[in-house]
Amino acid sequence: MWLKKIKHNLYKTVFLLLIGFQAQAQELLKLEDAVKIALENNYEIKIASNNLKIDETNSSAGNAGMLPNITANVVNTNSIQNITQTQSDGSQKSLDGAKNLGLNYGVNLGWTVFDGMKMFAKREQLKVLQKQGESDLKLTIFTKISDVYATYFNLVQQQQQLMALDSTLILSNERLTTAQNRYTIGKASKLVVLNAQVDLNTDTSLRLTQLNLYQNTKIQLNQILARDTKIDFKVANEIPIDNQLKLDDLKSLSDKQNPQLQSQILAKNSADLQLKQVKAGRYPTVTINSGYGFSHTEASLGFVTQSQGRGLTYGFTAAIPIFNGFYQSRNEKIAKIQVDTADLVVKQQQTILDSQLGMAFQSYQTNLQLTTIEKSNVDIAKQNLDITLAKFKIGTITPIDYRTAQLNYVNALVRYSNAQFQTKLNEITLSELAGNLKL
């Protein structure tokens, strides 16, 4: 019996040392470091950044059609022919294998100087599309950083629950030791020892299940951070909660900063500018043309066997639309409908945003209250456990009463941790909706 007791105490000591060693060996991943890694590595953020670079590249005066087109041209033609020419006096000249050469080269300029202001509307639309790309990038960043926040604090919660299960394992070990000691001196039955062993095994099983969930969530966070999923780390021990959020302030911020709403507003502006471009089709288009060219020709037979020329050409082209099968009217009607649709989408997004803010804030307030209640429950359950443990050691209460107090304390810790986590999730959601998520 004394050998079994030594083995049991040795197991408990090794278990506690192992927990402490693992905690020290793991690198602490701070929340701000996790956010920084995600901003640098996350694939979706990189893809959205590349899309913004495309929008920035497209936003130029040249792409809007405001700059001239300059081209350099070279045309070379050669021929070998059998030629027969009849002169005005009736005589004929013939030559087999006559060679002819033509060479033209030069620089031409074409510049549309007026198109019903279409080019200016196009330029403004490209700027709007660039801003929309910036808003879409911000939305992607907020979404992924929100995932980082949620997953990180999920790990904090699970780490807290692991600590709670570690505590209950220590208590269960002490209970088993006490039961074995009392059984040795004849003050407890074998049944008490067996029940203590079963409860210890149950607690060990629960801890293994929780540890598995904790490790899998670590892999999930590493995936979000786009780094090696085998990297091990630990997270902070506490979940800080901002209990000063106000709905009116969040509503005001969301109207100005929510990236999804801003993207829809920009889409409405883009539709307005598209309508302007379509209406420009009713106006004339004026294009300036100019160029400087060189020409050289050679012929084996004819009055002129060789000629050269060079010089400046210039002029303009004006095109006035008169009738195109009602194509213009049809395009204008479609563009107006698209403007109305974009306006409806903005109003719809505003309604959705207000609804999301209202529900998230209601959940935030409820979970704040639950956090306060569960914190009080933890304090009460701890006092009850301390008293129960003292009485159990002197044998004035039953093992069932002790186990009940033990479970009540562990469950209180778990509920408190869950309440904190849910409150933090609501806080993250509100900050994301308000466009105020800290990066």
Give the mean model confidence (pLDDT) for residues 114-123: 94
Handedness of CA 134, 139, 140, 142 (dihedral sign): positive
CB of 332 within 8 A of CB of 278? yes
Q: Is the pLDDT at 360 greater than 90, yes or no?
A: yes
Give 398's pLDDT tier (boundaries 50, 70, 90).
confident
Q: Is the pLDDT at 83 greater than 90, yes or no?
A: no
How far is residue 144's CA from residue 426's CA, in Å, rounded to a whole number?
A: 16
Q: Helices 43-58 and 118-184 sit at what angle, rounded to 10 degrees?
A: 170
Q: Is the pLDDT at 19 greater than 50, yes or no?
A: no
Give the mean model confidence (pLDDT) for residues 18-39: 77
> Minimum mean pLDDT among 85-94, 97-106, 282-291: which range?
85-94
Per-residue model confidence as pLDDT tens digits over 214-265: 999 999 999 999 999 999 999 999 999 999 999 999 999 999 999 999 999 9
Handedness of CA 220, 223, 225, 229 (dihedral sign): positive
Per-residue model confidence as pLDDT tens digits over 50-76: 999 999 999 999 999 999 999 999 999
Give the pLDDT of residue 439: 78
Q: Is the pLDDT at 10 greater than 80, yes or no?
A: no
DSSP 132-147: HHHHHHHHHHHHHHHH
Give 8's pLDDT tier (boundaries 50, 70, 90).
very low
- List, in sequence order, the alpha helices (H) in 235-326: 247-257, 259-279
Q: Is the pLDDT at 27 greater than 60, yes or no?
A: yes
Q: Which residue has the higher pLDDT, 54 or 438?
A: 54
In whole numbers, what is the pLDDT of the chain averaged over residues? 90
How far is residue 178's CA from residue 272's CA, in Å, rounded to a whole number?
A: 80
Q: Which residue has the higher pLDDT, 41 or 306?
A: 41
Give the pLDDT of residue 301: 67
Give the pLDDT of residue 122: 95
| Token pair of 178 as six digits | 């006490």
How far is residue 124's CA from residue 321's CA, in Å, rounded to a whole number?
A: 24
Indicate the DSSP class of residue 282.
G
Query: Whole-prediction pTM value?
Result: 0.82
Q: Is the pLDDT at 369 greater than 90, yes or no?
A: yes
Give 16's pLDDT tier (boundaries 50, 70, 90).
very low
Give the mean model confidence (pLDDT) for residues 402-425: 94
Give the pLDDT of residue 373: 97
Give the pLDDT of residue 4: 43
> Minimum mean pLDDT among 5-19, 77-91, 194-208, 291-305: which range?
5-19
CA 106 from chain centre, in angstroms, equals: 51
Per-residue model confidence as pLDDT tens digits over 290-330: 999 999 887 776 666 778 888 899 999 999 999 888 999 99
Per-residue model confidence as pLDDT tens digits over 126-152: 999 999 999 999 999 999 999 999 999
